[in-house]
């Protein structure tokens, strides 16, 4: 009985040590897109666009969202302009900063519907 008790105490101590060592590790959020870390700062065209959206007083709400489609990254940049019913509400950009689609607004059809049907939302990178 005495030997069994020592084994249990030893296992308990080892288990506590292992748990305490592993408890300090936290998953760090990976913020890489288009081959760069922190794309909202390190993609020059995206950093400039974010600055423009943030400093434009007529834009009341704006957001930059990251999507993946066919193993490629895309950015959906939405904006809300006061009293602008017929302007596009957002744009989908590729990693080079080229506009692929304009979304919403007064268009006969919205090409973004097909994109959003197959793209996967990753996360929001910035909000105004």
Query: How far is 35 from 41, CA to CA, in rounded Å?
Result: 13
- Give the pTM: 0.71
Count of structural domains, the chain: 1
101 or 106: which leads in pLDDT? 101
Residue 42 is predicted with a pLDDT of 95
Structural domain contains residue 27: no
Residue 126 has pLDDT above 90, yes or no: yes
- Model confidence over 36-79: pLDDT tens digits? 999 999 999 999 999 999 999 888 889 999 999 999 999 999 98
Asked whether residue 62 is assigned to any structural domain, the reply reads yes
Residue-by-residue DSSP string for the chain: -HHHHHHHHHHHHHHHHHHHHHHT--PPPP-EETTEESHHHHSHHHHHHHHHHHH-TTEEEEEEEEEEETTEEEEEEEEEETT-TTS-SEEEE-TTS-EEEEESSS-SS-THHHHHHH-EEEEEEEE-
| Structural domain includes residue 86 | yes
In a domain, 24, yes or no: no
Residue 12 lies in a domain: no
Task: Indicate whether 21 belongs to any domain.
Answer: no
Rounded CA gap, 42 and 116, in Å? Answer: 25
Rounded CA-CA distance 54/43 in Å is 16
Task: Write down the pLDDT at residue 46.
Answer: 97
List the domain range (segments joined by +) for residue 107: 32-127
2 located within any domain: no
Percent of the chain at pLDDT exceeding 90: 51
């Amino acid at each position: 009985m005495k030997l069994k008790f020592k084994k249990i105490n030893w296992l308990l101590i080892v288990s506590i040590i292992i748990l305490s060592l592993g408890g300090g590790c936290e998953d760090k959020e990976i913020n890489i897109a288009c081959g760069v870390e922190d794309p909202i700062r390190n993609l020059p065209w995206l950093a400039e666009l974010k600055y423009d959206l943030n400093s434009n007083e007529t834009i009341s709400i704006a957001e930059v969202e990251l999507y993946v489609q066919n193993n490629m990254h895309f950015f959906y940049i939405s904006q809300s302009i006061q009293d602008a019913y017929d302007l596009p509400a957002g744009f989908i950009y590729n990693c080079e900063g080229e506009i692929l689609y304009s979304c919403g607004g007064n268009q006969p059809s919205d090409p973004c519907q097909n994109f959003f049907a197959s793209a996967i939302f990753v996360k929001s990178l910035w909000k105004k």
